[in-house]
Amino acid sequence: MNDRFSEAAEKGSTLLQSAGCEFAEIRFSSGVGTTISLSGDNVDSMTSGESLAGSVRVLKNGSWGFATFNDISSIERFFNSALTAASIASPDEKSRVARSEPVSAQFRTEPVEDINIITLDEKFELIKSYNKILQSSPKIQTTKAIYRDVNSRYLYMNSEGSRLSYEKMHCGISLTSVAKEGSIIQPFHESVSGYGGYEIVRGREELAEKVVKIAVDMLSAEPLEGGTYDVILDPRLSGVFIHEAFGHLSEADFIHENPRMKEQMALGREFGPAGFNVIDDGSITGLAGYIPFDDEGIYPQKTYLIKDGILTGRLHSRETADKMGETVTGNGRAIGVMRQPIVRMTNTYIDNGTQTKEELFDSLDDGLYAVDVIGGQTNLEMFTFTAGYGYKIKNGKPGKMFRDVILSGNVFNTLKSISMIADDCEMYGGLGGCGKGGQSPLPVSYGGPHILVKNVLIGGRK
Amino acid sequence: MDRILESIPGKYRWFDAVHVAGRSTPLSFRNNRLHSLSESESSGFGFRINRDGRTGFSYTNDSQRKAGAVERAYSMAPYGDPENFTLPSDTTLDFEPYDPAIDSFSVKDEIEAAEKFISDMKAAFPEISIDMGISASSGVMRLMNSEGVDLSYRDSYYSVSASCVLVMDNGVRIDTWEGKSDLRPVDYSEFKEILIEKIKRAQVQEKIATGLYPVILPPQAFSRFAGIIASGLNGISVWKGVSPFAGKLGERIFSDKFTLADDPLIEGSPYKIPFDAEGVNVSRKELIKDGVIQRFITDLKYAERLGTEPSGNASRGFSSLPSPSFTGVTVEPGSSSFKDMIAGIERGIVAEQFIGLGQSNTLTGDFSASLDLAFLVENGEIKGRVKDCMMSGNIIDLLKGDVHFSSERERKGSILMPYTMFPAVSITV
């Protein structure tokens, strides 16, 4: 396969040199992966497969043409169909792209323990041992333990003369226990993944123990009553909170051609309290949202979205950066070469504040400590996110455990209700990811320190 | 077929293989203008083999490396669970989910129609921003197995969606969409009227206090809740004991007005299939009839585990093992029209779109979601928008109690549903 890959790359490189359009890029990828999925006492599936994919994207007379294929040896044909597609329409309003200097570089994941030298038996035994822990209470009805690894090769080339390659090794596990008692069924789930080798998944017994313990504990937790609460979010939830309540809003493709949104998102607008900083940074190696370069051939960077409570930046693709007259940030991302890049987050987090976690708790006489995450969603005005579970806080002390903690708020106002920020930022990113424009899951990570948010609406029956 | 047989390294009990290939032409409009035009071609091959009762699987989308996938599947089989079912040999092909009219798809005509649609919408709302996706695709699915089945069928698919965003001066955002899919290109000009009415209403804000209200869910919205019920009827969750309906065959769980079926033959649906992904013949099946649980959906593996006949619900792409899934979900209509339902409400809500639905413990039917787009109903009339509130409850409990289905139904994608009204649902402000 390597020979055909290189041969297609050489043909592609020649095509790009005489593309005859404003901008053109070719992306190729090949991958080999293993997935082992266990459930209860069963092997749900054990799969090893390979994939090969290519795409061409061209900008001609202000119109985008895009072709995708897996027969990479016919690159000339697909290059022409992308050019033809772009030529069909000649729009009045033209798309343009921000330019960049040509760059050439080769990147590769440096694993501590290469997954290729670990036998299938060993991977099977490891995930089996975690699955056993997930079953370790009589109250566990079923489990799901998934191991996944992928070795892939990615090549990006464009008409500016850039040529970037990335040999990627990605590995992760996803662990779920479902506890049951009478008619109550409570699942709990944890996942870790990252770019690296087998070291990412080895020694995760504690994680599995946590999953089974919380699933069982949640059987006796009561659903939280709906209403307005002062809430301390743990680092993982504060990460999901910033991803949903603000991160998507900072993606410039929601803004760049909408005058009202531009006004709403004018740089300099006050979004949160003093001392509140939000950052997106795709250059942090190891994290799930790490990219050596984005899918438009731009290097990632550390972008301050909010600095000291003030809106200071946003995330761009080449097209949105050009349109808004701002600089590219390296956030043009696609879930695979078969999809077009759109503006996406990478590793997004709330930076550390100056207070301690203890100070946050001490300040709260009556409220809620919301922990862990099930998911979140936004429509760019309102957002919701679901905590794994929570504890009522009285006089600074966590008490009774509650389930069904679903928080909701307004993207423009809720950040202003952040009243305290601790100094214990942590980052998270599992085997799942973020969804947008039908592209899901895109690997991202998110995180933050413990934060205290006032007056949060929580759904539930009275 | 011969090449597959040659590649199998040793003895086996059975095998099957799927080969899929397709082409599509997606058009994308963003922010009121044509953004990109695509051409997409893809194919893939998946192979499953049973050795001594255990099954292995592998795939590739590199047409020159099928033999490698066969060998990998063979070598992985010993890790599989014991499976003693046999593959079907009597698969029949009565129709193809294909309409030759898919070839009449004209990029130029579609661009013209979409531009007209956008300009009409802009005439109604000058500040509106519209994204549209229009796509035509066709392909071939081929299924082969060791029992002599070697059948292939063509499929065609057309889809269109229009998503409108209007940001008001006060920062309030109205974001709503319509979409449909068919076997061939279809007219969608009716979206205009529907969207214009929704957006007009949404510009007026109404107030509502925390409490219990009658709530009407239109077909699309109700399908998300019906999906929570449907997942409990999947043989996998029944066998694993995490379905609230496990062990309840023959029991009345819901209101006697509630009848839900799996229908792989919904008229006009591009999701209809002549046989399932393992070659089992398909038919419409009532899973819940008059509130009573009748049966669950299965593939061959879960039919064996549950000791039932396979229901013909195996689904698979080339890169995955078959697994039971719904091909079409229908809910039987009721007697009163949507209009009469509205007329009978003194103060209630029509809830169209949600944020965060499905992020609760759906295994037990619980839900709690923010109302993304919902309208107040007052004295029998639909009024303006209610927002910034959450709707919570348990869908199983709601369908147990007093529930009303409209006489009219709509097909959206692979679902066919009526409007559904629950007389008392919890709203938190």
- What is A201-266 written as a DSSP string? TTT-HHHHHHHHHHHHHHHTPEEPPPEEEEEEEPHHHHHHHHIIIIIGGGBGGGTTT-HHHHHHT-
Q: What is the pLDDT of residues B131-167, one digit of tens each?
A: 999 999 999 999 999 999 999 999 999 999 999 999 9
CA–CA gap between residue A155 and residue A8 (Å, rounded): 11
Residue after which a domain boundary falls, among A219, A246, A264: A219
A151, HSE (Cβ side, Cα atoms, 13 Å): 13
CA–CA gap between residue A314 and residue A162 (Å, rounded): 25
State whether residue A14 is helix, strand or coil. Answer: helix
pLDDT at A1 over 60: no
Question: How many residue pairs from chains A and B have C-beta atoms closer than 8 A?
Answer: 241
> Are A233 and A359 members of one domain?
yes
pLDDT at B57 over 90: yes
Radius of gyration of chain A (CA): 24
pLDDT, position A142 = 96
CA–CA gap between residue B127 and residue A262 (Å, rounded): 13
> Are A38 and A182 members of one domain?
yes
Q: ipTM of this model? A: 0.90
| Whether the model pTM is above 0.80 | yes
pLDDT at A462 over 80: no
CB contact under 8 A, B321 and A45: yes
Q: Total structural domains in chain A?
A: 2
pLDDT band at A461 (very low <50, low <70, confident <90, very high): low
| Minimal C-alpha gap between A52 and chain B (Å) | 6
CA–CA gap between residue B287 and residue B262 (Å, rounded): 7
Choose from B390, B396, B429 for mutation: most chain A CBs within 10 A.
Answer: B390
CA–CA gap between residue A337 and residue A30 (Å, rounded): 10
pLDDT band at B184 (very low <50, low <70, confident <90, very high): very high
CA–CA gap between residue B414 and residue B270 (Å, rounded): 8
The set of residues, in sequence order, having a beta carbon less than 8 Å from that of A148 and lying 6+ positions away, is: A33, A34, A35, A36, A171, A172, A173, A174, A193, A431
Percent of chain A, pLDDT > 90? Answer: 80
Which residue in A379, A403, A460 is closest to B392 by CB distance? A460
- Establish if A39 touches chain B: CB-CB under 8 angstroms: yes
CATH of residue A180's domain is: 3.30.2290.10
pLDDT, position A90 = 76
In one letter, which amino acid is B103? D
Helix (H) or strand (E) holding A158: strand A140-158
> Are A270 and A327 members of one domain?
yes
Residue after which a domain boundary falls, among A219, A249, A276: A219
State whether residue A291 is helix, strand or coil. Answer: coil
| Minimal C-alpha gap between A354 and chain B (Å) | 32
The set of residues, in sequence order, having a beta carbon less than 8 Å from that of B202 and lying 6+ positions away, is: B166, B174, B176, B373, B375, B384, B385
Dihedral pair phi/psi, residue A25, rounded to 5°: -145, 150
Sole residue written with tokens 């006032």: A454
> Are A234 and A205 members of one domain?
no
pLDDT, position B90 = 96
Residues in B closer than 8 angstroms to A406, CB to CB, are 356, 359-360, 368-369, 390, 392
CA–CA gap between residue A431 and residue A199 (Å, rounded): 15
Average pLDDT over residues A120-148: 97
Is residue A379 classed exposed, middle or buried when 0-12, 13-18 and 19+ CB atoms within 10 A define those classes?
A: buried
CA–CA gap between residue A72 and residue A126 (Å, rounded): 36
pLDDT, position A223 = 87
Average pLDDT over residues A75-98: 91
CA A132 from centroid of its chain's CA atoms: 29
Dihedral pair phi/psi, residue B71, rounded to 5°: -65, -40
Query: Residue A213 sits in which domain range?
Result: 2-219
> Are A120 and A230 members of one domain?
no
CA–CA gap between residue A266 and residue A443 (Å, rounded): 28
Q: What is the mean pLDDT of chain A?
A: 94
pLDDT at A165 over 80: yes
- Establish if A3 touches chain B: CB-CB under 8 angstroms: no
Strand partners, A237: none
Percent of chain A, pLDDT > 70? Answer: 99
pLDDT, position A380 = 87
Intra-chain end-to-end CA distance of chain B, in Å? 62
CA B57 from centroid of its chain's CA atoms: 26
State whether residue A304 is helix, strand or coil. Answer: strand
pLDDT, position A435 = 83
> Are A140 and A95 members of one domain?
yes
- Establish if A460 touches chain B: CB-CB under 8 angstroms: yes
Query: Residue B60's closest chain A neighbor by CA?
Result: A50
pLDDT band at A104 (very low <50, low <70, confident <90, very high): very high
> Are A256 and A193 members of one domain?
no
pLDDT band at A247 (very low <50, low <70, confident <90, very high): very high
Neighbouring CB atoms inside 10 A of B316's CB total 22
Q: What is the mean pLDDT of chain B?
A: 95
> Are A86 and A231 members of one domain?
no
pLDDT, position A130 = 98
> Are A350 and A451 members of one domain?
yes
| Minimal C-alpha gap between A454 and chain B (Å) | 16
Residues in A closer than 8 angstroms to B108, CB to CB, are 88
> Are A256 and A212 members of one domain?
no
> Are A24 and A154 members of one domain?
yes
Domains of chain B: 2-200 (3.30.2290.10), 204-429 (no CATH)
State whether residue B370 is helix, strand or coil. Answer: strand
Q: What is the pLDDT of residues A367-397, one digit of tens each?
A: 999 999 888 888 888 898 899 999 999 999 9
Is residue B388 within 8 A of residue B356, CB to CB? The reply is no
> Are A175 and A272 members of one domain?
no
- Establish if A5 touches chain B: CB-CB under 8 angstroms: no
Dihedral pair phi/psi, residue A370, rounded to 5°: -100, 130
Average pLDDT over residues B9-16: 96
Residue after which a domain boundary falls, among A219, A245, A265: A219
